[in-house]
């Protein structure tokens, strides 16, 4: 029962950064999921996969795991890098890729 502590990435469906400022503690699956033979549903008897705890800071999540004796693994957050370019760079004569219509 190893827990993973991480800060979730921004969703690809939206441009906002909602729900990315909190740190999340998830449990790794102890056993693989199985396919139910009659209906074909995917199921698991591991109930800890359903637990997702959210914390304001990484230190709070680590303190919670230590306090409850949960082995954990921390994945550092990778911040988004935005290149600094100007709109006028689209029309430069020595552009990397020529701009044509």
48-88 pLDDT, tens per residue? Answer: 888 899 999 999 999 999 999 999 999 998 777 778 888 88
List Cα–Cα distances, 37 to 31, 40, 42, 43, in angstroms. 18, 5, 9, 11
More confidently predicted of 61 and 95: 61
Which residue segments constitute the domains of the chain, with CATH numbers given?
Answer: 3-10+17-77 (3.30.160.190)
The answer to whether the pTM exceeds 0.75 is no
């Amino acid at each position: 029962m190893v827990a993973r502590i991480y800060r979730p990435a921004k969703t690809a469906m939206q441009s906002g950064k909602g729900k990315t400022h909190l740190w999340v503690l998830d449990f790794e699956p102890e056993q693989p999921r199985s396919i139910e033979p009659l209906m074909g549903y995917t199921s698991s008897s591991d109930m800890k996969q359903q637990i997702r705890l959210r914390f304001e800071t990484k230190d709070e999540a680590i303190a919670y795991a230590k306090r409850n004796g949960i082995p954990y693994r921390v994945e550092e957050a990778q911040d988004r890098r935005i290149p600094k370019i100007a709109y006028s760079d689209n029309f430069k004569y020595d552009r990397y890729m020529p701009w044509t219509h």
